[in-house]
Every structure is written in structure tokens, then in C-alpha cells.
Structure 1
Amino acid sequence: MKKRPVVLGAVLAVVAAFALWQNRELIPGDMRPGTEVAQPRTPAASGPVAQAPAEPVEQVGESADSATPLQEILPRQSIAHQQGLHKTKDPLGLHSSAALVMDAGTRKVEYAKNESAVLPMASITKLMTAMVTLDANLPMEAPITITEDDMDRERHSRSRVKVGTVMSRSEALHLALMSSENRAAHALGRTYPDGLEKFVEAMNRKARQLGMNHTHYFDPTGLSASNQSTAQDLATLVLAASKYPQIRQFSTDEQYLTQVGNRNLRYLNSNRLVRSAGWDIDLQKTGYIIEAGHCVVMQAKLAGSEKVVVLLDADSNGRRNSDAERIRSWAYQQAGIPDERKLAKAKPAQKEEKKVAKAAAKEDAKDAKETKVAKKKEAASKDKETKVAAKSRAKEKEKEEPRVRKSFSASAERKVATKKREESGS
């Protein structure tokens, strides 16, 4: 009897271990073996302390970099949030977990927050994709066919560019930079001399040449969280990319009309700030995957000089743009000159802040609604699976009952026959 508590304890331990294994997908931070997680180089904020064609047109609206399938709406955290970087306080109260502002002329860093943290860069990757493509001196008007190899097998992100679509290399580059079209970007890498693997090697080689020592490229789209960099390295990337006229033009076009198959599609720039009055942006690239959060890099004229702005891991498009507006106001304040946009519009700064805050709130409400819908669908799916399993068990039980009754009846008949033989024998 004394051994029973020990045996019971061992059994409970085994049951608990099995339950933990069954629910391994729910382990916080998804820290299971084989998951790559970037490590921050510094968790503290730094920097100065300061306050219509003839054919019908199908429009492709602004989105989170053409990569917001249902599974990305599910409640998971970015890597920066897993590491607690979003809790870092900075003078401007930025929502982004990492940020950097640099004077493009002097390369002096004027504002920084977690600028050395190694984080996923999402579609900012496409700036390097563009540079490697242009460096190869390939015929830009040569046709490229989108194949099944260009489909996103990891996140199943949406795309209006169907398999079999033929476009020029220049057109693919335009869509990749302006609207962050993933299939177009992948096709650029796939059609590189000697193939995709050599293309990625060229991306990493150029990063080393530029001194981007904390940057690693895994694919030409940015869909993999293994594409990682720092705010410091990305500022270097922006400065290098700004030397390519095509990258400056393609990345800042407000919209682009193209014919895909028998459809006319109008693509919008994934960065709404290029359409915002008062912003003079020379180059930009947005990015989003769940592990990276909402990101953007820009080179823009602010307060009379060229500034490089890097924002990584904001909670939403609205908050990312709100951070950009705060940096804009701060730059003018630091320079001690009035904001031309505010003078032109003759509006108080408070009104602009309210507008930005309202947009951010709208984005947050949209994200919350999408999360709620995703949870509801997930619950409905599980409920359906439970009902199907229960129905299956009920059918099995129905099949079993006749066999049990038949067996019982046969047994009863044998007993009656045996009893009759015994009575007749006596």
C-alpha cells in the first residue's frame, strides 16, 4: 500500500508530459527546436533627447505588403515583441520597436531606438532584390513568365498575378518595389543567371560589400523571417539603393496600371505617405510579416535636408505612419524652422495629430476585427471536427449494437437448447 502514492505520482507526471507535448503549438513565443529567433544587440533606446483605360480596371488596394492571409491574422507576436523591445521608452514615444533617423549627407545618426537589434525585415528585402537585379545588367524588357515556383508556399499570401502571366523584367521590378508583389520579386530571383540560389548568394555578398554585417538574406521576397537585419544596416541599404534611379522612381510611384492576362489592374503604392500632401519621398519600401510587424524605410526631404528614416515592428500601418509623422515634426523642431506643409495648409499641428491618431485607431479596429473573425473561424473549425468525430463514433456504436444483440441471442438460444437436453436426459 505504501507504494501507491509513488506510482500515482509517476503516472500523473507522464500524463502531464504527454499533454504538454500535445499542446506544443501553444508554447509562448513558438520557441520549439528549429525555430530561428533573432537576438537583439541592444535593448535600450539611444540617440539625442528631444521632443481610366477603355477596359474595366480592377484596382489592387493598399495592403500589408500583399501578405495578409488568414493565418497571419491569428494572434501571434512579432520577434521584437517576444524579446520585449516594444517596451523600450524613447523621447518621441514611438510605437515601433526599433527606429533610426540619419542625415543622408553626413551619415550622422540623429535619432535611434534599438538600432542594433537583429530583426526580420520582411519586404524591405526587395530593395536588395532590386539592386542585385540591376547590377546584373540583364535585359529589362525581356519577358518573364510567372510559374508555380513563384507561388508563396510558406504563407499563401494573395497575389493578382496568376501563374502563366508574362511580364517584362522591368514590370516585375516595378510591381515588386511599388506594391510589394511577391510573385514578381521571386520571379526576378528565379530568372537570374544560374538560378535562385546564386541570386540569394549575390544578395548576401552585396550586403557584405556595403558593410551590412548584421544582415542575412534568405529569399528575394522577404516572406521568410530568416531575412534579418538591423535599423543601422537598413539605413546603409537605403543610402545604397538611392543611387539607382529606377529604384527611386519605381518605389515612389503612387500607382501603376498594367494588363495582367485579359484584366487591367491598377496597383497602388503600399506606402500611403507617398500620396500624402507635404511628404517629399525620394525612395521607400514597406514590409510586413507577423514576425517583423509593420516596417518601412524611407529617404525623404525633411526640414531642408535629406533624411533616412527606418521604422521596424509597429503594431499596424496606422501606427507606423503615426511614427513617421512624429519624426517629421521632430525634424522640423530640431532644425528650428516651420513645417512648410503646416504653413501651406494653415492648420494647427493638433489637427494633423488627431487625423493621424484617428487613422491609427481605424487600423487597430480593423486588426481587432480580423483577429476576432479568425478566432471565430478557428473555433467553428474545431467544433465541426468535434461534431464529425462524435457522429463517427455514433455510427460505429450503431453498427456494433446489432452484433451484440445477435451474439446475445445466440448465447441465449444455446442455453435453452442445453437446458432442454438436460431435461430430456433426466
Structure 2
Amino acid sequence: MLQQSLSMASVRSWARGLVVVVLGATLAVAGAQAAQRSAQPEKKTKVVAKRANAKASAQAPRKVAKPSKAVRLAAVSSREPVRAVAHRPSHGELAGLRNHSDPLELKSSVALVVDQDTHEVLLSKNDLAVLPIASLTKLMTGLVVSQAQLDLNEPITITEEDIDTEKGSRSRLAVGTTLTRGEMLHLALMSSENRAAHALGRTYPGGLKVFVEQMNVKAKLLGMTDTRYVEPTGLSSKNQSSARDLAVLVNVAHMDPLLRDYSTSPGYEVDLGRKTLQYNNTNLLVKNPSWDIGLQKTGYIAEAGRCLVMQTQIAGRKLIMVFLDSAGKLSRIGDAQRVRQWLETNASFRSSVSGSSPAPGGSNS
């Protein structure tokens, strides 16, 4: 009995020990799981942080080496090509006049050099061709205004009517600007100011239509049979003439002191009250001290090319020069220089000053 009691006690003691062991093991496992669960958020946080850092790194601007010039050019060439402005051929070019050669290799399709006193033709090239004359028109505009003996001190205001609707060209004379007729004429002849020229015609007694009629009447009286005017600025390609006719116009205009003075003025300031505008002569040769220019006018529209007329003196002789439909921006000036050099080195031209022999004629190709 005692032995059985001891055995039961031993069993209970073993059972209690087993419970303790199992309970301890269970607590240990639970503690480990809890520890594991508490550690998992930290791990997740670290992963999220790592991903965030990677994203920020991807978005951050990187220093990229600048591509070489060759690479940049290759990239540009691979793009859609830039559309160039279409070339607008002049009337002279369309007529094939630019294909005509001459001994001086002039860039102008039309050229004429005449002795002002003897009317001797020293050089001619397509001088009877009738072409648009651009702002050479303003020389006739000035002649009509001057010979009408209008009040040069009368104020003229630029209006909406004076805005260029033919070519859309700009002007520094804003609508509402008021200048005297003399100032308008000065700017028209010296700087080829279109609004000034249009305002001169618009304010002529009888209006613009009467003014244009007077331009054509004057041309007819001067024997300019190849000449026609439709407006006073030269923006219209319908204003046309020949080198022969223009030489006549230059000769007559040179007799007018006002036109001589205004057309050869190197520069002119216009006081508008709030500001002062500085205008310069469109002919670069006017400021060249080696040239003696008594009257000049330049012109350009796409249909006419670059144009230039001048009265000048070379080697003691008074000359009239006409250049029409010149291809380059400075080519008309270059042509004048080439003609001058040719004349100065031509023995016949120099000797003719003393009347010993006539000057040679030019190519009429």
C-alpha cells in the first residue's frame, strides 16, 4: 500500500514536472513567435525604405556627359528638316536676264552708265528691259512734290491708310505720328520710308489718285515711254521702268537742290517729342569719302531685286549710273565699285576728259 502510494506520488511529481516542461516550452515558442512577429515590421520598414531610396535615386537628375558636336549634328540631321523660305525669282530672273554676261561680270541684270553732259553711253547691259523698280519710284514721288511747290512746313500725320498692305513691311512711323512735309520727303528719299512716301501722295491736293496721275504725266513729259506708276512707294511690282528712262529721271531730279540734298544726306534725326528716331541713308557709298555723289536712290522688292541709281563724278566726269535686278544684298554697291575701277583704269575714259577721244561703249548683252 505504501509502495502504491509512493508510486502515485512519483507519477504526480513526474506529471507536474512534465507540465512545467511543456508549459516552459510553450512559453518559449510563444515568446519566439512574438519576437519574430515584432521583428517583421522592422524588416518590412527597411524594405520599403530601400524601395523609396531606389525610386528617389531614379528620379534625381543625373549628370550626363554633354554629347560631342558630331553627335549633336547627327541628332539634328535625324529630325524633320527645317523648311527654308521659298526663293521668289525676280522679273529679271524669270526673263532670263541674269544669264546674260558682260565684260565686268556685273551682278546686276541691267546696267547703264551715261555721261551726264554729253549723254554718251559708256556702259550698257539690257538697258531697254522694262522691270519693276521698287523704291526708285520715290525719286518721281519727290520730284512731283518738290515741283508742286507745296508748303514743306505743313504738318502731315500718318494714318491707317499709309500702312503697307502690299508687302506687309514695317515702319518706324507709327499711326498718329506727325511730321512736316519736308521731313516726310527727307525720310522717303534718304531712308526709303514707305509710310512717309505714301503720306506725301495721300495729302497731295486732290488726293492719292491725282498724285499718281501726276507721276505718270511727269514721266510722259520727260519722254519716259517705258515707265508706269500705280502708287508712290514702289512696293507694287506694277511700278515699272527701264534703265534708259531712269537715267532721264536722275538727270532731271539732279537739277532740283532739294532732292540732291535730301537723297544724299548721310543721316537724319526726327524729334517725336517723347523720343528721337535716328535714320540713316540706305546707300552705303554716301558715307564713303572717296565717292562724290550728287543724287542717289536705292530700291528693293523681291520682284525687282536690288536696285540703285546715282549721279556721281569719276575722274572729273559727271556720270549717271543705273543698276537694276542685282542678285545680292551688297552686289549693287559692288557693281558701282567695279564700274568705277574700270573707268578709272581706262585710258580712253581719262583722255576723253580733255576731249581728245570718246569713251568706249559697254556690252549690250
User: Could you tell me the TM-score, scaled by structure 2's length?
Assistant: 0.71
Q: Look up the match of 1:283.
A: 295
1:205-233 CA-to-partner distances (Å, cap 9, x unmatched) read 00000000000011000000000000000
SS at 2:250 equivalent: helix
SS of the residue aligned with 2:124?
A: strand
Q: Which residue number corresponds to residue 317 of structure 2?
A: 305
Deviation at 1:110, TM superposition (A): 1.0
Task: Confirm or deny: 8 A CA contact 2:107 2:328 kept in the other structure.
Answer: no
Give the equivalent residue in structure 2 for 1:174: 186
131-140 vs 292-301, which moves further: 131-140
In the comparison of the two structures, how many residue pairs are matched? 266
Residue number in structure 1 paired with 2:241:
229
Counterparts of 1:317 and 1:246 in 2: how far apart (Å)?
28
Deviation by residue 1:218-275 (Cα, 9 ceiling, x = unmatched): 1000000000000000000100100100100100011101123522111010000101
Change in CA separation of 1:332 and 1:230 when aligned onto 2, cut-off 3 Å: same
Partners of 1:156 and 1:295 lie apart in 2 by: 20
Aligned match of 1:327: 339
Q: Deviations over 1:153-202 (max 9, x none)?
A: 11111110000000000000000000000000000000000000000000
**Whole-Å separation in 2 of the counterparts to 1:316 and 1:89:** 16
Whether the 8 Å contact between 1:146 and 1:162 is mirrored in structure 2 is yes
Residue equivalent to 1:76:
88
Q: Verify: 1:189 aligned to 2:201, yes or no.
A: yes
Distance between the aligned counterparts of 1:306 and 1:74, measured in 2?
41
Q: Distance in 2 between matches of 1:247 and 1:335?
A: 33
What are the residue-to-residue correspondences of 1:51-200 with 2, within 5 Å? 74-200=86-212
**How far apart, CA to CA, are the structure 1 residues paired with 2:210 and 2:273?**
30
Q: Which amino acid aligns with 1:314?
A: S
Q: Residues 283-334 of structure 1: CA distance to partner in whole angstroms, max 9, x if unpaired?
A: 0000000000000000001111110000001112311111010011111122
C-alpha distance in 2, partners of 1:107/1:187?
A: 35
Alpha carbons of 1:337 and 1:99: their partners in 2 closer, same or farther (altered >3 Å)? closer
Return the alpha-carbon distance in structure 1 between the equivalents of residues 347 and 130 of structure 2. 31
Name the aligned partner's letter for residue 257 of structure 1.
E
Confirm or deny: 8 A CA contact 1:303 1:335 kept in the other structure: no
After TM superposition, list the pairs within 5 Å mapping 1:383-422 onto structure 2: none
Q: Distance in 2 between matches of 1:315 and 1:140?
A: 37
Cα RMSD of the aligned pairs, angstroms, is 1.2
Residues 1:332 and 1:152: Cα distance change in structure 2 (over 3 Å): same
Asked if 2 retains the 8 angstrom alpha-carbon contact of 1:161 and 1:260, the reply is: no
Aligned counterpart for 1:248 among listed residues 242, 255, 260: 260
Is the aligned partner of 1:203 residue 2:219?
Answer: no
Identity across aligned pairs (percent)?
53
Structure 1 position 75, deviation (Å): 1.4
Change (3 A) 1:118 1:337: closer
Equivalence for 2:270: 258
The letter for the 2-side match of 1:189 is G
Q: Cα offset for 1:277?
A: 2.9
Q: Which moved more, 1:309-318 or 1:139-148?
A: 309-318
SS at match of 1:317: coil
SS in 2 for 1:97: strand
Aligned-pair distance for 1:336?
5.7
Q: Which amino acid aligns with 2:97?
A: L
The match for 1:271 is 283
TM-score (norm 1): 0.61
Q: Which runs of no fewer than 5 residues in structure 2 stay unpaired?
A: 1-84, 351-365
In 2, Cα distance between the equivalents of 1:175 and 1:204?
Answer: 22
Runs of 4+ in 1 over 4 A off after TM superposition: 335-338
Native 8 Å contact 1:298 1:309 kept in 2:
yes
Q: State whether structure 2 residue 221 is matched by structure 1 residue 215.
A: no
Code of the residue aligned with 1:137 in structure 2: it is Q
310, 314, 329: which one pairs with 1:317? 329
Q: Does the C-alpha gap of structure 1 residues 111 and 143 become closer, same or farther in structure 2, counting only changes over 3 Å? A: same
Task: Tell me the equivalent position of 2:81.
Answer: none
The one-letter amino acid of 1:299's match is Q
In structure 2, what is the Cα distance between the partners aligned to 1:82 and 1:315?
A: 13
- Asked if 1 retains the 8 angstrom alpha-carbon contact of 2:133 and 2:307, the reply is yes
Code of the residue aligned with 1:105 in structure 2: it is D
